[in-house]
Structure 1
Amino acid sequence: MTYEEFLKSKQITINPSGFDCESNNKYLFDFQRDITGWALKKGKSAMFLDTGLGKTITQLSWADEICKYTGGKILILAPLAVSKQTVREGQKFGIKVNACRSQIDAKDGINITNYEMLHRFDINDFVGVVLDESSIIKSFSGKTTQQMLDLFIYTPYKLACTATPAPNDYEELGNHAEFLGVMSRSEMLATFFVHDSGDTAKWRLKGHAETEFWKWIASWAMVVKNPEDLGYDGSKYKLPKLNIQTHFVESPVNENMFIVLPAQTLDERRQARKESLKERVNKTVELVQGTDNCLVWCDYNDESTALTKAIPGAVEVKGSDTPEHKENALIGFATNDVKYLVTKPKIAGFGMNWQNCNDVIFCGLSDSYERFYQAIRRCYRFGQTKEVNVHVVISEKEESVLENIKRKEEQAQKMSRNMVDLTSEILKNEIRNTTRNVIDYNPKQKLEIPSWLKEVI
């Protein structure tokens, strides 16, 4: 064996386990049709498509083709309220989706349920599974996440869909790879990473392995921020202007201090947020006035309760509400039956399509950039025709939280851009290898029907 052959033997390759198929759904855009075909050929893959690029229609088309090919059932797992929204989207796209809450309700074809209902289903009855908004699996406890990974280990067809796999959150990428059966998280870390400065909780890409790591990601994940990344026309995906404005409310000054000191520790931040509740709610109410409809985000129950009482006509969605109330309220906001919605990013920050709203208010801010990004993207997405106004209301003491979010945003944008840049050319080739080459026919000579055929006709 030559040294070159030895090096080739060490390259990590992912063998396709699917089948060649081109979806004929007329509602698919060109890039969506090609991505769907790529995912069908892969058999087990991830679609990291940014918000508004059509994850719903691509995953439904993927599931529909597998149902036709195998004659089996598909199970889609989605966040609460997204299930009904997906059923409605399926009707629009000509794909039937059955919403169910247990195995008894499952039917032939495509079935959808909430993540919380997974324990009620017999996984062996399904030939394929789709994780909608798959990045939320990192929000589950380690035990629950591992249980989900184990449940689908022998499922023939798998698809994970999310807009925001944090490119610097390698554990999340590892969970996706393990779910798809590509490589275990521990193997991924051992292959591409090293411990950072002796801290075993932090991992850093090996300097010489960065390019190979993203090549490996591109072998099983489609990473797209805009169709232009794959060489398609992305002009329709240019969004209106996003206006983000921060409003600081006054914080009480300690009697031993002459100035307001920023809260540093977690306890100090929580205390500062508690002290400014009244002022933040009053400012939020002021901002809500005059809007046609408004989405108000908060993080704590006392904030949610105070906001709902202070905003006339506001509908609150909290964790303890019944699934029926949550679904009706979230869908009601999408259909303009609810004018003002008060809820938390961890409840409704994933999956919902609210392009009908262009005014968003955060009554307080957590340190999670992903939640902040996703919450904004419920309204700021493909289909939005107006400028989106985002207001962040925090106390003076919480400026450090805002700075933390800005730092994470810069890091995420840089890493995301790197991820797209390093994978786009590979994925372009992947797309070309899984789509048909069509040669246009330009006739040069007029066709004449033979006389003997005219006599037969």
Structure 2
Amino acid sequence: MGYLAFLKRKMDIAPETGFDIDISEVNPALKPHQRTAVVWGIKGGRRAIFKSWGLGKTIVNLEICRIIQKHKGGKALIVLPLGVKQEFLRDAVRILGMEPPQYVRNMAEIYATTTDILLTNYERVRDGDIDPTYFTVCTLDEAAVLRSYGSDTYQTFMIKFKGVKYKFAFTATPSPNRLKELIHYAAFLEIMDSGQALTRFFQRDSTKANNLTLYPHHEDEFWLWCSSWALWITQPSDLGPEYSDEGYDLPPLEVRYHEIQVDRELYVTDRDGRMKIQDDEVVSLPDAMKEKRRSIDERVVKMAEIVNENPDDHFILWHDLEDERKAIKKALPDMVDIYGSQDYEIREQRVIDFSDGKFRLFGTKKELSGSGCNFQRHCHREVFLGIDYEFEDFIQAIHRVLRFLQTEKVIIDIIHTSRERRILQVLLKKWELHKYQVKRMTDIIKKYGLSSTSMMEKMSRTMGVKRVEVKGKNFTAVNNDCILEFERLPDNYFDLLHTSIPFGNHYEYSASYNDFGFNPDTEAFLEQMDYLSPNLLRTLKPGRVFACHVKDRVLFGNTTGDGFPTMEPFHALCIQHYMKHGFRYFGMITVVTDVVRENNQTYRLGWSECCKDGTKMGVGCPEYILLFRKLPSDTSNAYADVPVVKSKEEYTRAQWQIDAHALWRSSGNRLLTKKELLDISVNKLQAAYTKYSRETVYSYAEHVEISKKLDEDGKLPGSFMVVAPGSWTDQVWDDILRFKTLNAKQTQKRLQNHVCPIQIDIPERIINRYTNPGELVGDPFGGLMTIPNVALDLGRKGWGCELASNYFRDGVGYLQAADADVRVPSLFDFFGEEMEDLG
């Protein structure tokens, strides 16, 4: 396969696994936009349909099931929330003229059914014996449960529905909290694995796990990718001007906020009996729950006041706690309520009766009636007795009455206390984000239509880069795909190749399909590396070194299905790869990392989980510098064609012996005592303990004892490790400064940081060890040009190639500054040999 063909294979347009139907096959009772959604969904085969409230999501769901079952046989299963069954039965009979779907509880009932379309609840699938693979087509109604990545429902559904040929997800609120939740639908539909999609589109926070944000340069591509498998419709005209919005105007919305003033106790006692000052506003979930319970009476009084002032209006009274329900019932005896322990048939009938306008006040929880129920025919008022952080439930609840075909102005009353202002701010911020997401998707559909071909053409424009070369006296920097650039270089060009390669598909560095990080898995990454590695070997001088910086990768259990994190031995795979291409592997340097910081990024070594079961705990993940040589022309003595020579006057036998034995000796100061170590301030403790560890015979028991004492004294932070053991060998580097990277300068200049910068200490040591002054050091993955930069600082010449134009531009700036420093003459340069004579 040619390289261009390989790159084109990367384009991530969701595959079409369904079949074509003529639009005349769709029930004429459907509106034009609904018929288009049916045809699009069936052609895709595995798709998400995100339709705003009142646009006919239920009948589109039913019609897709009917047509697929008609063409492919078997049975269809629709999974829906509690209390929604009546909506499907009503629409199937009244609108579509279909035989009413049957509700089933288990496989025995499924085998006994006589209809082709069946209904069940999420709980029946998650906790029961229902096997989705028995069905030809499965759909999820109100599929927002898939957003909860680590939940039992998500994990169970991922496994149970795997392999179902035709499957669909329907909801009006696909991602109200964070953009990354959208990819969970793609994983369920088997469009792309969640871990792969997270890596591709989202950047990580190096201090906190799961704090992922969308790469700014990937935003357009992300939305194009989403629109290849998900259809977002807020109104019919989103599909094009030929679709009429007549009858689909949402009613006016008025949101009224009622703040209950509450007094705050200045001091409170925590669960350990310690006194602390209480904040003016609640933030944490436990404090929010306490505030909710403490203010029930005041909030219920306000709710009753609102209801009694409007005796002709029907109201939904939303609450979250059983104590709230009881307090409302006491204040408003006419309220008809439902609750979780109530008989299901009673709950369902009360929902239907309120929907039909048979009583005025309906008390319920968002988890029971917030999804799927249509109350707009007789109700336009809602009161929220309280608020919380769950925006999905909140927005779904509002749209039980704020729907198309609502004829009245919708009024929403929200009651909260003065200490819950911050929670309200979070809810409103999420509301704005939801509106933004919907607009982005609908704008793309309006621009490109529903054709995957036009989307692919747009996405392919991110392929390639216009080559730019910048040269200085001591450096060359190239903005290009390194594979294409290395093809241009002559044989035996570099004295040292040193780089930090992309860690498989762990990070992405640019919006280009040429990016090595833009691959579905490690296998594909190494396949792309196959185009580069032969030229790395060819351009390296005989006998010289290729030093490759890598790191193993964490494979999370919810991605692999193992249930616990495992490790991909990426460094071993790289050794195998480069040996395959002719390099001789001759050593590896280990760079230790801070296990506490690593756990904050991955949560894979959590203290609490390891206390529950020690078998789950692995170890920290170090970095490695893999050392390879190109065979010299003369293998009889194994010297490089141009050897790296050290003067014995400068590099003495004494220094060689110490380096060879890798012993760390005391500089003459006496060793710290354990008591002195414990008394050192936290900010100096890390360096002090490393020195103590190197120079003292190691004792595991003493190490634990010191750590325990520090913890008791509050000097064992949770953000970094202060008592990491020191290394006794030059094959393990424990003193690499994690923050000593060019990102420090990027931050100072307010420029974009590199997602994975190499620490400056590493190339300093590698270049000093494996090159002579004045030689050429090359880096195929230049990034911010750290390695060429260090080469200049050490009196060598630097060469770097970088694909991302923004990194290239910033890296050239650093190289030009370093090159100027190299060329600036000192005072002694003006005197030349005269100064030597004076000496």
Provide the TM-score with structure 1 as the length reference: 0.88
What is aligned with 1:10? 10
1:336 paired with 2:339, answer no
What is aligned with 1:116? 123
Structure 1 counterpart SS, 2:342: coil
Partners of 1:149 and 1:2 in 2: how far apart?
36
| Higher RCO (CA < 8 A, seq sep 6+) | 1
Q: Which moved more, 1:28-37 or 1:1-10?
A: 1-10
Match of 2:154 among 119, 141, 145: 145
> Following TM superposition, by how much is the alpha carbon of 1:248 offset from its aligned partner in structure 2, in angstroms?
1.6
Q: Deviations over 1:255-292 (max 9, x none)?
A: 88xxx933343333333222221111111111112143
CA contact (8 A) 1:47 1:223 kept: yes
Match of 1:79 among 75, 81, 96: 81
Partners of 1:399 and 1:57 in 2: how far apart?
40
Structure 2 counterpart SS, 1:347: helix
1:308 paired with 2:311, answer no
1:366 paired with 2:388, answer yes
1:252 paired with 2:273, answer no
What is aligned with 1:448? none
Q: Deviations over 1:70-103 (max 9, x none)?
A: 2210000000011122111111121221222222
What amino acid sits opposite 1:113 in the alignment?
Answer: T
Name the CA shift for 1:388/1:145 in 2 (closer, same or farther; >3 Å). Answer: same
Q: Which moved more, 1:104-113 or 1:133-142?
A: 133-142
> Following TM superposition, by how much is the alpha carbon of 1:250 offset from its aligned partner in structure 2, in angstroms?
2.8
1:396 paired with 2:427, answer no
Match of 2:70 among 68, 71, 76: 68
CA contact (8 A) 2:46 2:167 kept: yes
1:421 paired with 2:423, answer no
CA contact (8 A) 1:168 1:415 kept: no
> Following TM superposition, by how much is the alpha carbon of 1:360 offset from its aligned partner in structure 2, in angstroms?
0.4
Name the CA shift for 1:280/1:320 in 2 (closer, same or farther; >3 Å). Answer: same
> Following TM superposition, by how much is the alpha carbon of 1:385 offset from its aligned partner in structure 2, in angstroms?
0.5
Match of 1:279 among 298, 304, 321: 298
> Following TM superposition, by how much is the alpha carbon of 1:140 offset from its aligned partner in structure 2, in angstroms?
8.2
1:201 paired with 2:223, answer no
> Following TM superposition, by how much is the alpha carbon of 1:253 offset from its aligned partner in structure 2, in angstroms?
4.9
Match of 2:98 among 88, 95, 99: 95
Partners of 1:431 and 1:86 in 2: how far apart?
35
Equivalence map 1:162-201=2 (5 Å): 162-166=171-175, 169-201=178-210
CA contact (8 A) 1:230 1:425 kept: no
Partners of 1:423 and 1:162 in 2: how far apart?
18
Partners of 1:173 and 1:12 in 2: how far apart?
15
Equivalenced residues, count: 432
Root mean square deviation of aligned Cα: 2.4
Name the CA shift for 1:340/1:120 in 2 (closer, same or farther; >3 Å). Answer: farther
What is aligned with 2:282? 263
Q: Deviations over 1:130-166 (max 9, x none)?
A: 1000012335853431221111111111010000011
Name the CA shift for 1:123/1:406 in 2 (closer, same or farther; >3 Å). Answer: closer
Match of 1:346 among 347, 367, 381: 367
What amino acid sits opposite 2:317 in the alignment?
Answer: V
Partners of 2:230 and 2:283 in 1: how far apart?
38
Partners of 1:190 and 1:132 in 2: how far apart?
28
Identity %: 33
What is aligned with 2:559? none
What amino acid sits opposite 1:203 in the alignment?
Answer: L
Name the CA shift for 1:303/1:141 in 2 (closer, same or farther; >3 Å). Answer: farther
What is aligned with 2:34? 32
Partners of 1:131 and 1:221 in 2: how far apart?
14
Gaps of 5+ in 2: 268-278, 456-839
Q: Deviations over 1:417-451 (max 9, x none)?
A: 22322343334436999xxxxxxxxxxxxxxxxxx
CA contact (8 A) 1:251 1:275 kept: no
CA contact (8 A) 1:171 1:185 kept: no
Structure 1 counterpart SS, 2:320: coil
What amino acid sits opposite 1:417 in the alignment?
Answer: K
What is aligned with 2:56? 54
Name the CA shift for 1:139/1:5 in 2 (closer, same or farther; >3 Å). Answer: closer
Partners of 1:49 and 1:123 in 2: how far apart?
24
Structure 1 counterpart SS, 2:244: coil
What is aligned with 2:248? 237
CA contact (8 A) 1:38 1:430 kept: no
CA contact (8 A) 2:26 2:38 kept: no
Structure 2 counterpart SS, 1:144: helix
Partners of 1:226 and 1:82 in 2: how far apart?
23
Partners of 1:188 and 1:242 in 2: how far apart?
37
Partners of 1:393 and 1:76 in 2: how far apart?
36
Partners of 2:303 and 2:177 in 1: how far apart?
33
> Following TM superposition, by how much is the alpha carbon of 1:213 offset from its aligned partner in structure 2, in angstroms?
1.4
What amino acid sits opposite 1:372 in the alignment?
Answer: F
Q: Which moved more, 1:414-423 or 1:239-248?
A: 414-423
Structure 2 counterpart SS, 1:236: coil
Name the CA shift for 1:292/1:143 in 2 (closer, same or farther; >3 Å). Answer: closer
Name the CA shift for 1:203/1:255 in 2 (closer, same or farther; >3 Å). Answer: closer
Partners of 2:337 and 2:344 in 1: how far apart?
13
